[in-house]
Amino acid sequence: MCLALPGKVLEITERDRTRMAKVDFGGVVKDVCLAYLPEIAVGDYTIVHVGFAIQKLDEASAVETLKLFEALGMMDQELGDPWGRAAADAGQVPPA
């Protein structure tokens, strides 16, 4: 949960009077709130924690981290199916 993933800002929009973005995490695209990084622009890389951009990051560091996280299965842990994971840990089927 405390993981923060680097991603690339693809597109900036506004929702509920707040700056939002489509951010690409190595192929998975998520909605991310930009309220805490007002200066960030399309094409920039940012560190994203629970759907919020918290700091800007240089491209080389971002790409290296994404490669590492992909290899470690950490992208799936953060962006994958939480009920399936909890059910597997519990030795049960996911609740409907």
Partner 1 sequence: MKYVEEFNDPELARRLLDDIAATITRPWAIMEVCGGQTHSIIRHGIDQLLPSQLELIHGPGCPVCVTPLETIDKALAIAARPEVIFCSFGDMLRVPGSHGDLFRVKSAGGDVRVVYSPLDALELAKAHPDRQVVFFGIGFETTAPPNAMTVYQAKRLGITNFSLLVSHVRVPPAITAIMESPGCRVQAFLAAGHVCSVMGTSEYPPLAERFRVPIVVTGFEPLDILEGIRRTVHQLEAGRAEVDNAYPRAVPAEGNPAAQAMLADVFEVTDRAWRGIGVIRRSGWRLSERYRAWDAEDRFDVGGIVTAESAQCRSGEVLQGLVKPHECAAFGTVCTPRTPLGATMVSSEGACAAYYLYRRLGGTSREAEPVGR
Residues near partner 1 (CB under 8 A): 1-4, 16-18, 30-33, 35-38, 47, 49-52, 54-55, 57-58, 61, 64-65, 67-68, 71-72, 77, 79, 82-83, 85-87, 89-92, 95
CB of 26 to partner 1, least distance (A): 14
CB of 41 to partner 1, least distance (A): 16
Burial 57-69 (b: 16+ CB within 10 A, else e): beeeebeebbeeb
CB of 11 to partner 1, least distance (A): 17
Rounded CA separation 6/14 (Å): 21
Closest CB to partner 1 among residues 42, 59: 59
Task: Give me the long-range contacts of 13-17 (CB less than 8 A, separation at least 24).
Answer: none
CB of 54 to partner 1, least distance (A): 5
Which stretches within 39-80 are classed as H helix? 59-72, 74-79
